[in-house]
Amino acid sequence: MSEVFTVPFLRVAFAGGLIVGSLCAFLGVHVVLRRIVFVGAALAQVSSAGVGLALCTGANPATVSLALTLGGVAAFAVRFGNRRITQESIIGVAYALASAIAVLFVAKSAHAEAYMLNLLSGNILTITPGQVYLTVFLFAVTVLMWSLFQKQFMFSAFDPETAKAHGIRVAFWDLLFYVILGIVISFSIRVVGMLLVFAFLVLPAVTALLLSQRFVGIYAFAIVSAAVSTVSGLLLSYKLDLPTGPTIVVFSGILLLASSIVSKLRG
Amino acid sequence: MNQSSQLAGDESADRGFLVVMEHADLGYGKWRVLSDVNLSVSKGDFLAIVGPNGAGKTTILKTMLGIIRPLRGNVAKAPGVRFSYVPQRQSMDEVYPLTALEVALMGRYSLMSPIGKPSRSDLAFVLSCMERVGIEDLADRQFRELSGGQKQKTLIARALAAEPDLIALDEPTNDMDVASEYAIMELLRDLYDSQKITIVMVSHLLNVVVNYAKTIALVDGGLKTIGPVSELVSSENLFRVYGIPVELVECGTRRVVLAGR
């Protein structure tokens, strides 16, 4: 099995998967706590619609995908005053529309269809060293923002009304959180695919929240959980010739199941 | 025109106003809850906003604090005045794994540098606020695991951490047993008496309000009337607001409100 680590593209896949997984797991803690798990799914879908639009028009997929994702971010960041429409339903509308639009954009191009299929399930084995460096940079920026402004992010999310009454600019910090999330999702889905990004945003965070009650511990467990499932999934998929992304997600699910048993036993 | 602004320095200093609402229509989006509200809170007030469920009490409080903007009219704060808010504890999201100390620390955030972590002196001050309300031994406990009374005290400690001129509380004793209700109200009375903090609270519990507040605002579909508790709390006024006979009974030094005949 050790020969896996001697294959250059596999080494890059390991590195990329570990960093994307850790970054999504870190942000995922706040995605889960803010109860916006499906914002991640919807943003990923909006991002893929952007890729579809770019393939259809010949524009740069990265740029169009990011622009559309940031548009979605702006819509999701608004706390709607309209009591007849919940934010949850807006997320559902965005998800359904973005999925349909993405399919329509690529319907007439075989090349685009293959590209989109790859985007959906992802192929971690095609990560390039350049993407790994960019992910490291994104991770560093995200952690830096968090260490500088953790107070504002936390107060705005936990108790927005009191934060506002105390002079915290809740709308700004919410928007900044969503912008960071949008950029990370938009970039990550082109590296590892929508399935893995969504899984990394949710499963490691839930695993960690079952195992620890302190934020340092929660971040650590989430990142370790994402890393262990990435390495195990990659090794197993190599050994058994299975699709890599789904194998990683299943491993992540097994860790979540184990952590829920540990949590139950602890009482 | 809707406006949230600051009172001119001289005006607020002369009359001791901390916040003034003038001809304000209040609500959410296009939904108007209250019309033409005129209300002022002066330094040293202990104001209770009282009325039936759904009357718009919380809407007044949130507009006063700047959480929502008035739909029309003017809401003005005195320059430099600092508000703290104690929301209904049931509105706190219990999924967050925060200790009581971490929750109380949030009250300090608006006074700290925007960048970085709380300093040792911030931490010491917040711990002293927790001690002030009698929960210093709960600092490391998870907020979500505390009892209703302990949560309320944590939220009051958080409000004190902001060194406020005015603390606004939304239904602070809702769903509490008698002992916890008494403890919270005595704590508020003590803060009012000893620290001279202006208090504005929303409550539908008349028996609580008549024994602690100095001023009362009766709300039902609009601000009906505002004035000293001793003058305004009468069977006639309460009948006007609640639409049922209400009897006020003196019981030693305390007053009891009885509904019906």
Q: What is the 3-state secondary structure (H, E, C) of A39-90?
A: HHHHHHHHHHHHHHHHHHHCCCHHHHHHHHHHHHHHHHHCCCCCCCCCHHHH
Please give the residue of chain A at the shortest CA–CA distance from B108.
Answer: A166
Residues counted in chain B: 261
> Residue B120 pLDDT more than 60?
yes
Cα separation values, A19 from A83, A227, A228, Å? 40, 8, 12
Q: Does B248 touch chain A (CB under 8 A)?
A: no
A40 vs A214: which has the higher pLDDT: A214
Domain membership flag for residue B215: yes
Asked whether residue A177 carries a pLDDT value surpassing 90, the answer given is yes
**Angle in degrees, CA B78, B82, B87, rounded to 5:** 120
Q: Which amino acid is at A65?
A: S
* pLDDT the model gives residue A192: 86
**Do residue B176 and residue B62 come from a single domain?**
yes
HSE toward the beta carbon, residue B89, CA cutoff 13 A = 25
Cβ distance of B66 and A148 shorter than 8 Å: no
Q: Does A241 touch chain B (CB under 8 A)?
A: no
Do B204 and B123 fall into the same domain?
no
Comparing A19-28, A207-216, B48-57, which segment has the lowest mean pLDDT?
A: B48-57
Among the residue ranges A96-100, A105-109, B11-15, B29-33, the one predicted with the least confidence is B11-15
Centre a 10 Å sphere on the Cβ of residue B130 and count the other Cβ atoms it contains. 25
- For A253, phi then psi, to 5°, come to -65, -40
**Residue B260, domain member (yes or no):** yes
Q: Has residue A122 got a pLDDT over 70?
A: no
Min distance B140 CA to chain A CA atoms (Å): 10
Residue B224 lies in a domain: yes
Q: Are residues B61 and B100 in the same domain?
A: no
A215 pLDDT above the threshold of 90: yes
Q: Which residue has the tokens 């406020």?
A: B164
Contact A155 B106 (CB under 8 A): yes
Q: Does A58 touch chain B (CB under 8 A)?
A: no
Residue B14: strand, helix, or coil: helix
The residue that leads in pLDDT, A258 or A9, is A258
- Are residues B244 and B137 located together in one domain of the fold? no
Range A50-55 average pLDDT: 85
What is residue A183's predicted lDDT score, i.e. its pLDDT? Answer: 92
| B2 phi/psi in degrees, rounded to 5 | -115, 145
Edge-to-edge strand list for the sheet holding B198-203: B83-86, B166-170, B198-203, B46-50, B215-219, B223-228
User: What is the nearest CA distance from A161 to chain B, expressed in angstroms?
Assistant: 6
Partner A contacted by B91 (CB < 8 A): yes
Cα angle A71, A77, A78; round to 5: 105
A149 min Cα distance to partner chain B (Å)? 6
Q: Given pLDDT bands bounded at 50, 70 and 90, which one contains residue A10? A: confident
Same domain for B42 and B121? no
**Tell me, which fold does domain A2-266 have in CATH?**
ABC transporter involved in vitamin B12 uptake, BtuC (1.10.3470)
Which stretches of chain A are DSSP H helices? 8-33, 37-57, 61-77, 87-106, 110-121, 129-158, 160-165, 170-192, 194-211, 215-240, 244-266
Q: Which residue in the set B28, B97, B110 is minimally distant from A168, CB to CB?
A: B110
Residues of A in contact with B115 (CB under 8 A): 148-149
Q: Residue A120, exposed/middle/buried by CB under 10 A (0-12, 13-18, 19+)?
A: middle
**Residue A125 bridge partners (DSSP):** none
Same domain? For B194 and B207 the reply is yes
Query: Residues 35-64, chain B: which have Cβ within 8 Å of A?
Result: 62
> How many separate domains does chain B show?
2
Q: Is residue B185 part of a domain?
A: no
In a domain, B87, yes or no: no
Which of chain A's residues have a Cβ under 8 Å away from the Cβ of B107?
A: 166
Residues B77 and B171 in one domain: yes
Per the prediction, chain A carries an average pLDDT of: 88
Task: Count the Cβ atoms, other than its own, within 10 Å of residue A1.
Answer: 8
Mean pLDDT of B242-256: 83
pLDDT band at B7 (very low <50, low <70, confident <90, very high): low
Crossing angle of helices A8-33 and A194-211, rounded to 10°: 60
Q: B5 with B73, same domain?
A: yes
B111 inside 8 A of chain A by CB = no
Say yes or no to pLDDT of A80 above 60: no
- Nearest neighbour of B110 by CB, restricted to A35, A167, A209: A167
Please say if the pLDDT value at position A119 is more than 60: yes
pTM: 0.88
- Shortest alpha-carbon distance between residue B43 and chain A (Å): 18
Residues B1 and B77 in one domain: yes
pLDDT for A79 equals 59
Residue A201 has a CB neighbour count (10 Å cut-off) of 31
Q: What is the CATH number of the domain that holds B216?
A: 3.40.50.300
- Full domain range(s) for residue B247: 1-81+165-180+190-261
Predicted confidence (pLDDT) per residue in B212-242, tens digit: 999 999 887 777 788 898 888 888 877 877 7
Instruction: Give the nearest chain B residue to A29 (CA atoms).
Output: B96
- Are A162 and B83 within 8 A, CB to CB? no
Cα(B102)–Cα(B119) distance, integer angstroms: 13
| Residue A171 distance to chain B (closest CA, Å) | 11
Is residue B228 less than 8 Å (CB to CB) from chain A? no
Per the DSSP assignment, residues forming a β-bridge with B42 are: B17
The verdict on B28 and B133 lying in the same domain is: no
- Do B225 and B132 fall into the same domain? no
Strand partners, B246: B259
Query: Could you tell me the end-to-end alpha-carbon distance of chain A, in angstroms, rounded to an integer?
Result: 38
Which of A49-53, A73-77, B112-116, B217-221 is least confident?
A73-77
Per-residue confidence at B160, pLDDT binned at 50, 70, 90? very high
Claim to verify: residue B68 and residue B143 sit in the same structural domain: no
Distance, in angstroms, between B6 CA and closest chain A CA? 14
Asked if A75 contacts A97 with a C-beta cutoff of 8 angstroms, the reply is no
Element (H or E) spanning B161, and its range? helix B148-161
- To the nearest whole Å, the CA of A76 is away from the closest chain B CA by 18
pLDDT band for position A170 (50/70/90)? very high
In this predicted structure, the answer to whether residue A214 has a pLDDT above a threshold of 90 is yes
Chain A interface, mutation test: which of B82, B84, B85, B91, most A Cβ atoms within 10 Å?
B85
Evaluate if residue B154 carries a pLDDT over 80: yes
Nearest residue in B to A168, CA atom:
B110
pLDDT mean over A97-109: 83
Residues of chain B contacting A164 with CB distance shorter than 8 Å:
65-67
Provide mean pLDDT across the span A33-56. 87
Among residues B107, B152, B157, the alpha carbon closest in space to that of B131 is found at B157
